[in-house]
Amino acid sequence: MWRIDERLFLLNLAPRFQEALARGVISPSQAFEMSRLADHGHQEAVTRLSTKSFSPEDCRVLAKVHQGNTQVNLEKIDLIVKHLNLIKKAMLESASRQEAARLAQGGEA
């Protein structure tokens, strides 16, 4: 019976995510957890985190957390994204410095 409920929940997915599921871009577990968020806007907000970054268990946790205060959760997500961008920038700068040092020494890859 739970399989039927799970499949019915998938009808709540935004069309874009139904297509992503059909193409294998997102897993059935990810799609199911996203479909539990009835609002397509909420699904969109969660997808930037869930499609490639988290396991199905992480998606279940995100779905539970998202049931709380939406504005607070969105602010937290924005803060996480900001910090991830800072980490990405630092990593790119480090890689650039390493490449410059390698070139300065006349080395090749």
Q: How far apart are CA 42 and CA 68, in angstroms?
A: 12
Confidence of residue 68 (pLDDT cuts 50, 70, 90): low
- Condensed to tens digits (0 to 9), the pLDDT of residues 88-102 reads 999 999 999 999 999
Q: Assign residue 108 a region: left if phi > 0, alpha if psi is -120 to 50, beta otherwise?
A: beta
Top-ranked range on mean pLDDT: pick from 18-22, 53-57, 94-98: 94-98
Whether the predicted model's global pTM rises above the 0.95 cut: no
Residue 51 pLDDT > 70: no
